Amino acid sequence: MAARKAMVAGNWKMNGSLELVEKLSDAINNAEFSEVKIVLFPPFPLIPAMIASGVNTGAQTVSEHTSGAFTGEVDAELIKQLGANYVLVGHSERRSVYKESNDVVAAKFARAQQAGLTPILCVGESETERENGQTEQVVAAQIDAVINKLGVAALEDSVIAYEPVWAIGTGKTASPEQAQTVHKFIRDKIASLEGNLAQGLTILYGGSVNEKNSELLFAQTDIDGGLIGGASLKAESFAAICNSAKGTV
C-alpha cells in the first residue's frame, strides 16, 4: 500500500497581497510542519513572490490550450516555468461562474499533467443535487470525465478535493460523517479500477474548513487534509489547520 501524506492547500481566490504572502510564508516556514504537505494558491500575479518565499505554490486555474489567441488565459508551461508545481482544476466557481464542463475540466487536467504540474481535481455537488440524492452520481461523473479521457492511471499523479458546493463560503460544513461517506465513495470507486492507486491517492475535503472543525474532519479515515478558502487568508488560522493535519494519515 502506498503511503499517503497529509496535505493542506490554501486557495486565496481573488484575494491577497504581497504583505499577506509574507505573513503566511512566515507562519508556515517558522513552524514544524514536516508531516504535512502545504501548498498555497494565490492569484497569478502573486505566484512569483510566493515561490520566492519558499512555500509550495500552485495556480488557481490553467488553460486547456498550449498557446494562441486566448486573451487572459495562462498556459501550464508558463506556470511550471515560474516554479509552481500544482494547479486547481474544476473548482466549483470555475464550473458554475465560468461554465466549465466536465470535459473542459478533464482537458485542463490533461494539459496540467502534460506540463509537469500536479492537478488537484475538485469535485462536489450542489445543495439541490444533495437533496435529490444525486451526490454520488454527480461526483462520479466529474471523476469519470478524467478517467474516460486519460485512464485511471492518470489519477496517480493527482489529488482529488471533495468540496460540496453548498458548503463553500457559506459557513455550512459537511459533518465529519457526511464528508467521510463521500470520501470513502471516491476511494472505493477508484479502488474498483485500481486498488493500489486508490489507497495511495490523497483526497482532501473543502468547504468552510476552519481551525475549529479541521481536527475532526481530518481524523476521518479517508480524509487526508483540506482545501482551505477563507481561513487560508489568516496566518494564525491557517497554521492551526496545518497543525491539526499532523499525524492524520
pLDDT at 118: 98
Contacts of 198 (CB under 8 A, 6+ apart): 187, 188, 190, 191
Tell me what percent of the residues of the chain surpass a pLDDT of 90. Answer: 90
pLDDT at 30: 87
Nearest to 226 by CA among 239, 212, 243, 245: 245
- Looking at the structure of the chain, the number of domains it has is 1
CATH code: domain of residue 73: 3.20.20.70
**What is the overall mean pLDDT for the chain?**
95
> Letter for the amino acid at 115?
A
Residue 1 within any structural domain of the chain: no
Residue 194 within any structural domain of the chain: yes
Mean pLDDT on 12-40:
95
Name the band, by pLDDT with cuts 50, 70 and 90, for residue 1. very low
Residue 92 within any structural domain of the chain: yes
Beta bridge partners of 8: 38, 226
pLDDT at 247: 66
**φ, ψ for residue 98, nearest 5 deg:** -105, 5
Write down the residue that cell numbers 468547504 correspond to. 207
Q: Give the C-alpha separation, 239 to 175, whole Å.
A: 22
Mean pLDDT on 146-166:
96
9 touches 226 (CB < 8 A) = yes
Mean pLDDT on 88-107:
97
Rg (CA), the chain: 17
Residue 9 has pLDDT above 50, yes or no: yes
Mean pLDDT on 61-69:
97
Mean pLDDT on 118-137:
96
Q: Give the C-alpha separation, 61 to 90, whole Å.
A: 8
Active site residue ranges? 91, 163
Range of the domain at 29: 6-244
> For residues 37-72, b (16+ Cβ closer than 10 Å) or e, as one string?
bbbbbbeeebbebbbebebbbbbbbbbbeeeeeeee
Mean pLDDT on 130-157:
97
Q: Give the C-alpha separation, 180 to 54, whole Å.
A: 32
Residue 249 within any structural domain of the chain: no
pLDDT (tens digit per residue) in 172-191: 878 999 999 999 999 999 99
Q: How far is CA 18 from the centre of its chain?
A: 23
59 touches 84 (CB < 8 A) = yes
pLDDT at 174: 86
